[in-house]
Amino acid sequence: MKHVIEPSLLRRFDIPGPRYTSYPTADRFVEAFGERDYIQALQQRRAGSLALPLSVYVHIPFCASLCYYCACNKIITRHHERATEYLRYLGHELELQTRHLGRGHRVSQLHLGGGTPTFLSDDELADLMGMLQRHFELVPGGEYSIEIDPRTVTQQRLAHLQRLGFNRLSFGVQDFDPTVQKAVHRVQPAEQVFALMAAARELGFESVNVDLIYGLPQQTPESLRRTLEQVQQLRPDRIALYAYAHLPARFKPQRRIVAAELPSAADKLAMLALALDMLSAAGYEYIGMDHFALPNDALAVAKRQGRLHRNFQGYSTQPDCDLIALGVSAIGRVGATYSQNTKTLEEYYDALDQGQLPIIRGIVLSRDDVLRRSVIMAIMCQGLVDFESINLAHLVDFRVYFARELEQLREMAEWGLVRVHDTHLEVTPTGWYVVRAIAMVFDRYLQLDQDRARFSKII
């Protein structure tokens, strides 16, 4: 099946927009939300008698080498002893969190991100997992994943990760083309990735993801085709194909990228269409926005069964549950709140030295926020919003409450991006190209504030 979008639509939607890993989005968090608000949310969860399992995210900020495209919160260093100090402070934060939350809560999803989690040594990773297991109960059958820089692991390290309880891996590949790799300062031979993938298969990891980026400097549709052909040979269970967001004013490393070497918007669209065609032909299901999965992978099964969710790590199979976030800059969600830790090590360490949780900002969701989050996540995850379900869950009349938004969708419907029926609305195959734009219609904050320069472009 060929995926085609009109050039006029390309020009219209070559605009910035949120990725909706949360709603309200993180740029709406306020510093008026602090430690006291977060503690209250933890205590309210503790008092609840029917709490669902938790999700836990741990941010490891260190990287040994700088990738020019990176927009993550990271610290470039070759001083591995810095990790020892960081782990000690993670332990302090975990103690403070569980003092208010309580110990022994069940966890069904754990993700180590960064930075480069495999910057930690084998012993340090074992210490971290032991620390988490002393505070939480990691339930059998949960999803326990870690982000991997292929340049920092061996087959022996993969076996160690499995012994620690990890059952899912995510390899950062980005692109196999040597010219592109050099342009973004991330050179890694394809043979290295193939060897690690073979080892992961032999070890029996439940799911292996590969991260790719389109829109990088020196990248062309033809060079991406070659990379995709190699990825098809790898046959990972999941593929995350992200659009590169060039925001050098916000992310200093991106200033080293030569803007003239970036592909045009038309070429980026061609790359996305190429990826959709090639991966579909190879048997991958398009989960949405930037994720693909083989039909038997848990992500594809959840999509078919309407159980897909979205959180700060992207699409997820886990229930819509609370997320405990640990580490510098980490963002969590507890109850009707979002919160973020301080963004620098100095501030993070200082708060914990004073016996305080390192919360720098957050937000308490209003009734309208919760309602709109339900609608936006239904669009982003299922591509379908059932009006009656929203009415029953939030005690509203969808067509009355969202009359203005439904009027805005009429033009999108004429373009073939969305279909609005009496009982529901659905995203069309073409609409998935710009699903963020469809979700943006229901974003009250964006409708009031048209300054979107802080976001990456939709295409």
Confirm or deny that 116 is annotated as ligand binding: yes
What one-character DSSP code corresponds to residue 416? T
What is the DSSP annotation of 124-187? HHHHHHHHHHHHEEEEEEEEEEEEE-GGG--HHHHHHHHHHT--EEEEEEE---HHHHHHTT--
Q: Are 440 and 17 in contact (CB under 8 A)?
A: yes
Q: Are 272 and 279 in contact (CB under 8 A)?
A: no
Confirm or deny that 459 is annotated as ligand binding: no
Confirm or deny that 245 is annotated as ligand binding: yes
Confirm or deny that 115 is annotated as ligand binding: yes
Q: Are 448 and 368 in contact (CB under 8 A)?
A: no
35: closest CA among 355, 312, 328? 355
Q: Are 317 and 298 in contact (CB under 8 A)?
A: yes
What one-character DSSP code corresponds to residue 22? S
CA distance 238 to 170: 9
Confirm or deny that 114 is annotated as ligand binding: yes
Confirm or deny that 72 is annotated as ligand binding: no
Q: Any idea of the CA torsion for 344, 346, 352, 354, to the nearest 10 degrees?
A: -130
Confirm or deny that 186 is annotated as ligand binding: yes
Confirm or deny that 433 is annotated as ligand binding: no
Long-range CB pairs of 226-230 (<8 Å, 24+ gap) are 226/176, 226/177, 227/175, 227/176, 227/177, 228/274, 228/275, 228/278, 228/279, 229/278, 230/176, 230/190
CA distance 57 to 51: 18
Confirm or deny that 69 is annotated as ligand binding: yes
Confirm or deny that 239 is annotated as ligand binding: no
Q: How far is CA 319 from the centre of its chain?
A: 16
Write down the residue that tokens 């299922």 correspond to: 382
Confirm or deny that 211 is annotated as ligand binding: yes
CA 237-179-209 angle, 5° bins = 10
Confirm or deny that 381 is annotated as ligand binding: no
Number of helical H runs and strand E runs in the chain: 17, 19
Confirm or deny that 71 is annotated as ligand binding: yes
Binding site feature residues for S-adenosyl-L-methionine:
57, 69-71, 114-116, 147, 174, 186, 211, 245, 331
Binding residues: 57, 63, 67, 69-71, 114-116, 147, 174, 186, 211, 245, 331
Binding-site residue positions for [4Fe-4S] cluster: 63, 67, 70
